[in-house]
A and B are shown apart, each in its own frame.
Chain A
């Protein structure tokens, strides 16, 4: 009897499920609903970005003038400009990209074009993936131990740039590898078939075709270099310096740390409100500006490559 009841019960369920399947939204309605949700998500994201941008611009634009961009901070940083922080951040970008870009591209070329599918290659790839997921404060400590102490570069532009270049190396390697993978095999084959060596093929056909992808990856990393605080905190950024760094061994100021100092530990947090927003705005403009440059470079190469 029991068994019978069970069977009946499941029979019943089965019919219900079938009934459920019969109840279908017609395609048009479901399309509309899906579209509405997708559209809403986009709106929310774009909305937030716009609100944040507007908020920073609204609060910051008053602070920005020639003096703000070209003068040293004065009166315990409650007055004057942020010139040394701007210069410091630009130096960091230049310094870390100078190291990380060529090294990253070369590593990617080696891994993608030369290294076979061996255990060693696999290990290297794993290491790079892990590096990409490491918190930036760990890079800061590592930079402190290696560059500041062991190599004796001291707290300096050099130590910070090298630390940041380690931080962005995995991003650049990954982006370059992806870009190399998208270059059709046919390009390589037909170049080799013309009696062109492997390296020349990479140099003259593969790399140019990969440049748009490499540039995109590099720009992502410029954003990180400009925005990171932890890695430079341990390795060279200064709380306040009334002058520009005069060599790679000097300490320096940087925009994100300056902002942090003003907003948390500054002498008068309320008094520097507009300087804070002004600093944030400048940081934003630098990153967006570099993004724009990257888009233009990419466009230029795309045009050259495609029809």
Chain B
């Protein structure tokens, strides 16, 4: 079934035979996938099929869950991230994550973006520059440049989400994981974030979970379709949407179930 491995010359993320259990329940079954550098990979599939579970394996957020057992191998730039001497904190610096619900810290806009770099020991003098650049990259600088000291929670939902992206960018990751970043946002904010991700592709590798087929088709280069913990099909987005190999993939993207 697994169509994960395809010919990508030098994958940045290489997942091999990933299995994951929450207690007795298996949530990921033998998932293998190669994700190339500077691309956008969309993960689609019905609710509960394991998309979030999978994406959270890539920055080891599942470590936080009590009885979660993981088998298999995830290699990022030739490091096995589940290897014995991997520093999870360092891993998460290079693999950032943006969540479904915009969740800025209850601090000022500036402090939200400066939070990561500050703790990672950025120079005080450089901080202003880092913050400004991150806000520029997240396409929100023009809206907040005159009120950096006001509370982040006073921003609109869409602005908050872009602020969260800026917060992630400020740590200078190589990979950014998005878990349904626009599902809590209005259509206009959604479009802005879609444009933003396409611009970020130049500098980052992006993996995005989405329930929105148009979004997947519009922004992604590769698409993976999950069903009940299995990766049913993975390939170039064009191929998946125009010419899916699997019947269930076709059913899902044409809206016949899910």
* Chain A interfacial positions (CB closer than 8 Å to B): 116, 184, 186-187, 189-197, 200, 204-205, 208-209, 304-307
Contact = CB atoms under 8 A, between A and B. Distances in A.
A195 B92 contact: yes
B89 A197 contact: yes
Interface size class for chain B? 20 to 34
Contacts of B116: 194-196
A189 B99 contact: yes
Contact of B96 (A189, A193, A197, A305): A193
A204 B103 contact: no
Interface of B: 59, 61, 64, 66, 89-94, 96-97, 99, 101, 103, 105-106, 115-116, 119-120, 151, 153-154, 164, 167-168, 171
A194 B103 contact: no
Contacts of A305: 106
A204 B153 CA distance: 17
A189 B177 CA distance: 13
A300 B97 CA distance: 32
A194 B168 contact: yes
Nearest to B168: A194
A193 B61 contact: yes
Given A195-B92, A196-B119, A307-B153, A189 B61 contact: yes
Contact of A195 (B64, B93, B101, B103): B93
Given A200-B119, A306-B153, A184 B92 contact: no
A194 B171 contact: yes
9 interchain residue pairs of minimum CB distance: A195-B93, A186-B103, A305-B106, A195-B92, A193-B97, A194-B116, A307-B154, A307-B153, A197-B89
A306 B151 CA distance: 7
A29 B101 CA distance: 44
B90 to A, nearest CB: 7
A202 to B, nearest CB: 12
Contacts of A200: 119
Contacts of A196: 89, 115-116, 119-120
Q: Which of A192, A208, A209 has the most CB of B within 10 A?
A: A192
B164 A190 contact: yes
Contact of B103 (A187, A192, A197, A306): A187
B15 to A, nearest CB: 19
9 contacts: A186-B99, A187-B106, A189-B61, A191-B105, A192-B64, A192-B92, A193-B61, A193-B92, A306-B106
Contact of B106 (A116, A191, A194, A209): A209
Nearest to B116: A194
A192 B116 CA distance: 10
B153 A194 contact: no
Contacts of A191: 105, 115
A116 B61 contact: no
B168 A116 contact: no
Interface of B is mostly: helix
A199 to B, nearest CB: 10
B64 A194 contact: no
A300 to B, nearest CB: 13
Given A187-B106, A200-B119, 17 more contacts: A187-B105, A190-B97, A190-B103, A191-B105, A191-B115, A192-B61, A192-B92, A193-B92, A194-B93, A194-B119, A194-B167, A195-B116, A196-B89, A196-B120, A205-B105, A208-B106, A305-B106
Nearest to A209: B106
A190 B103 CA distance: 8
Contacts of A195: 89-94, 116, 120, 171
Contacts of B96: 193-194
Contacts of A304: 106
Nearest to B93: A195
Contacts of B94: 195
A136 B99 CA distance: 49
Contacts of A197: 89
Nearest to A184: B103
Contacts of B61: 189, 192-193
Contacts of A190: 97, 99, 103, 105, 164, 167
B62 to A, nearest CB: 11
Contacts of B164: 190
Contacts of B154: 307
A196 to B, nearest CB: 5
A204 B114 CA distance: 12
Contacts of B120: 195-196
A184 B96 CA distance: 20
Contacts of B119: 194, 196, 200, 204
Nearest to A302: B106
Contacts of B115: 191, 194, 196, 204
A228 to B, nearest CB: 36
Contacts of B103: 184, 186-187, 189-190
A194 B115 CA distance: 9
A186 B101 contact: yes
Contacts of B89: 195-197
Contacts of B97: 190, 193
